Amino acid sequence: MTEREFGDAYVRLLPDLRRYVFRTIGNAADVDDIVQEAFLRMLRVDLHDSSEEHWRRYLFRIASNLIIDRWRRRKFEHGGDAMPEPASPTPHLENDAAVAKIFSELKPRERALLWLAYVEGESHEEIASALGLRRRGVRVMLFRAKRHLRDLLHARGLLAES
């Protein structure tokens, strides 16, 4: 990858990657570190497919791995299941803030699955590639993540019973 190709890819991919990392970890202080490390690792590898979509999937996979590593490290540092509450964004509408808070209560992998599927519009194959999972596993985990989010929204009164 030439310097120009990297610069062009960086400009196009940065906003989506930053949004994904922020929504997944909910902590603005760590976003830049994870995004920077993902791009640095992208530079270090020589992928044969130079399409931008391939680089995008690779970047999201690296970022996902970094997020999971961060979550495991913090879990270990805090002992057991104790995890510090991630910071939530401050949307303009009250319900949006409540939904963002609930989204931040999901496990990191659940947030990543939901974000890639419904915000980024990734296929199950693309999600599997980005998160290092089997395609068939994505379907089940995505179903469980949606159900968990739905249950949290019902419990907080933000989603009507259907």
90-114 residues labelled b (16+ CB within 10 A) or e (exposed): eeeeeeeebbbbbbbbbebbbbbbb
Distances in Å between the alpha carbon of 15 and those of 26, 34, 35, 132, 158? 16, 13, 10, 22, 29
pTM confidence score = 0.56
In this prediction, residue 10 carries a pLDDT of: 87
Please determine, for residue 83, whether its predicted confidence score (pLDDT) is greater than 50.
no
In this prediction, residue 143 carries a pLDDT of: 92
Instruction: Give the residue with greater pLDDT, 59 vs 158.
Output: 59
CATH homologous superfamily for the domain 3-155: PhyR, sigma-like (SL) domain (1.20.140.160)
In this prediction, residue 145 carries a pLDDT of: 92
Confidence of residue 36 (pLDDT cuts 50, 70, 90): very high
